Chains A and B, each alone.
Chain A
Amino acid sequence: MSTVTTGTPYLEVEDLKVHFKTEDGIVKAVDGVSFSVERGKTLGIVGESGSGKSVTSLTLLGLHNMRATTVTGRASVGGTDVVAAPHSTVQKMRGKDMAMIFQDPLTALHPYYSIGRQIVEAYRIHHKVSKEVALKRAVEMLDRVGIPEPQRRVKQYPHEFSGGMRQRAMIAMALVNDPDLIIADEPTTALDVTVQAQILDLLGDLQKEFNSAIIMITHDLGVITQIADDVLVMYGGRAVEKGTVEQVLRKPHHPYTWGLLNSVPSLHGDASEDLKPIPGNPPSLLNVPSGCAFHPRCAHAMLGGDGPCAKIRPELEVVQGLKNHTVACHLSEAVRATISDEVIEKVDA
């Protein structure tokens, strides 16, 4: 198993599988994913909806739907394998060792409790302090995440906050216990562009301050560029490409990554001409296509005759001898390199 960086990772995930049993069959939401993140680093996980990126992160916190779910593999958080650990252990780690920031801060905050009360509660789970002390801490945190008049705002309810302020509050709540690992699940998707940038900046600043490891789950490559160190591209419950931001976004080797890059509107060029969405729909996790899951949508798929794409599932392989850049594709490295250059050229144009 390869790792993206060389230090001692805080989070190490190995061959993680999350399978749900449903009436229609087994859903392989995550089917053998491995990655790791060090403190102070940010891993971006990219993929369409249904690629397994959110399930992966929820499984780390044990927040996935427990009913009829089988989780296998290993996921070590600060040395504790949260897959094997008892429920109560994982529960105690939540908030303290690993915290989560959710996509929609309006629905993710309890509508009937004040912001302050929710932060106080989060703090007091892991710190035996009085409410007053915790409230002081909450005000501090609100101040830290850039909420003006924190003394007043702390008493307000989520519906009294704007979208950006709510997400800041959410972040304040997630960071109140100084967690080592922060999982941010599309934290900026629900926000408008200027606020997005502010929030990402904030996260970056906080990361420097607290030296936490961050997993940034997103479908937005722009976000990745802005905040991540490493990238994991997921498709159909599996990792299809992994590497540093530079490697994956500048020298992408997987047709799916190309597709993602092509579908991002260029800031410079004529959007209508260049924009090429990936044809077809993401696969059903109930019935993942044989061989390479991406083959039905892949313009370069080698089908018919001895073409392996529909028959053999490609494993992650090192790209051009770069140990930390891996891709799972049957195309020859030379072909991939050529196409990669064409894609980047077009994106940059």
Chain B
Amino acid sequence: MRKHARVAVLGGLVLSLALTACSTNSGDGSGEGTNEGTQGSLDIIGTAEDAKGPAAPVEGAQTGGTLKYIGLTDFTHLDPARTYVGSFMMIQSGLLGRTLTGYKEVGDGSIQLVGDLATDSGKDVAGDCKTWEFTLKDGLKYEDGTVITAQDVAYGIARSFSPELADGAQFLQNWLQESREYKGPYDGAEKVPPGVKVDGNKLTFSFDTARCEVPFAVAMPNTTPVPEAKDTKTDYDNKPFSSGPYKIESRTLGESMTLVRNEHWAADSDPIRHAYPDKWTFEFGTEPKDNSVRLDANASGDENLWSFTGVHPDILGNVTGNMDKYKGRLVHGEQKYNGYLAINNLRVKDLAVRQALNYAVPRDRWIQLNGGEFAGKPNTSFMTKSVPGYKEFNVYPTDIEKAKGLLGGKATKLRYAYSNDGELSGQIADMFKEEYAKAGIELETIAISPDDYYGQIGDPTNKYDLYWAGWGADWPSGSTVIPPCLGEDGLVLDANTGTNYSFFTEKTIEDEIDRLSGLPITEALPGWGELDEKILTEFAPYVPLDSSYNVWITGSNVGGQYLQQNLSTVDVTKLFVRDPALNAG
């Protein structure tokens, strides 16, 4: 259940791969404390001026020194075509590669989409969202000093069409060619994908339908330039060619990696990255708990440690109960990920029952069982705070009597399925059973093998009524939250790729989704929040539970900790070594 999702995050590999597209991943909080409840700014699209480098200095930041990462598993995919897990994307896009657009922190903890390789965040040529133009900045270079060209960006996108490399986000590819006949640049095929035109340092994307969120889509790692000559296909994952501030000096897969400065990276051209440390080392293999214990101990020689792994639940209490002790080493905050009880709308067709489930939900006990306020915050909508356009509402305040009234004394029996991944999941199931019984809803709890959980709940013919699921926005817009989870987009025939676990669709809602999708970003953003409220009020197709919260600690010699909202994890672009002389070497 909840724990499951968290483990997926920490554990990295398998589960994360299964979940990334739209479920919980890693964490987010703000530097040197919290940006608790920072609501995503609607003023999210930056101008050409915002796209100019260098990035504004971080207060007190020093240049030099080595930062040392520890974690359980290696970053499985660093090939920009294939990376999709929050922390992997953070390493690829924060340190090794640059994308057409990117997110920069604007000083108050909120983020803004700005041109990264491109001079601005994209030009909607005809104002119909069908043709988008990006121009590359001058003086952009790879790690070997050669010039980054628009052709390389196109080639990077082209290779992300290849089925062998299809682990990354698929938005841009699907929009460019919905039929997906193009299979990448290999075996003699075109080096430029359909719908893309390269003209000098200019790239033009043409779509059949209005795609107003292209500026966000091109911030995904698959717009990272890849020179054809350096393309090593599946092996590119092991050592991607750098266009960012650092390059891979050495790497032993699954064990360690060392990054050193890419001398050809021009800070002047980069509005996002700071690149304070001279060197980054990464060591993999430590269990999450041991990781946390080590970070907590901050023993001599370990002051430069940091990790994407949040503080382990077993020692979370020590940290949160003693925050002063960790001053300057702590990041914590709310993440973009929600947790909710999906109601199987194909089986539970009575609105009153779905509403009763909402009125009677034991949200506080849920949060308490999952680790308390530092593991999750109550959430009463589908979208979470960090997504621009989020609307706060609570249409079903907890009220057992109201739930009883809605059921009208009818005996209601429902089947609750959960992933049998540990003691906690069983305790939670018992808790739901006990609490819902108070409202007259009898739950039959059914444990499912963790390996098969998503396959089963994603199957429209499943025989369950209620089960946990989670989701996080791919980019700061409700368009990556509502349609995949509460719209037809998420209803796919293949159980393993479907993301609408409630199997909920409504004509009126589909129409509104279509309308919002055709609007310019800034106009559409608040619309998604409104739609979120409308869906829950009118149809109650799910029961919102919480938004995840995470806490990270670093060694005492690490500065610039900041929780980046978009990837909901520690932002590597701002980290620095407080005393570069300490643990140098």
A–B contact at 8 Å CB threshold (below) = no
Residues of chain A whose beta carbon lies under 8 Å from any beta carbon of chain B = none
